[in-house]
Amino acid sequence: MVATVTGIAPFVSMLRHAIHRGERRFRFVVLQGASYQDEFAYREELEAASARHPELLAYISTVSRPGGERNRGWAGATGRVNTVVEEHVERLGLGAESTAAYACGHPGMIEDVARRLTPRGFLVKEEKYWKE
């Protein structure tokens, strides 16, 4: 699951449902990007859920403007979510044969994620909130 800012909302609903059901067939990796650390909706909830259910959920938040004043003290990942998605796919050993990507948020991010992952064999589902 790859999201920008409010694009995380539908994922949170899905993850809450999976946790409630005690899902064991799937593992979710959530990569959420924002310009500033104060823009991460549901960050605390997702970090806590990831800590409680590491077999089910991995949560990674990344800021694209690490030098910005609003990101003072940020110690997490950096980079635009669409430009670091491949790095995290590799680091986590996610293969196209067993992994689908679901991108939600800014249309430009979604298109770039699809451009990066589709040629590698990943199925990429899209959820766009507005048109440019």
DSSP output for 83-98: HHHHHHHHHHT--TTT
Residue 132 predicted with pLDDT over 60:
no
Total domains present in the chain: 1
The tens digit of pLDDT for each residue in 15-56 reads: 999 999 998 899 999 999 999 999 999 999 999 999 999 999
**Structural tokens at position 114:** 């699809």
Domain of 26 in residue numbering reads as 2-128
What single string gives the DSSP state of each residue in 49-81? HHHH-TTTEEEEEEES-TTSGGGTT--SEES-H
pLDDT at position 52: 97
pLDDT for 131: 55
pLDDT digits (tens, 9 = 90+) for 78-128: 999 999 999 999 999 999 999 999 999 999 999 999 999 999 999 999 987
Find the helix or strand (DSSP H, E) in which 9 lies.
Answer: helix 9-21
Average pLDDT over residues 54-59: 96
Residue 89 belongs to a domain with what CATH number? 3.40.50.80
Edge to edge, what strands does the sheet with 57-63 contain? 77-78, 57-63, 28-34, 2-4, 100-105, 123-128
pLDDT of 129 reads 64
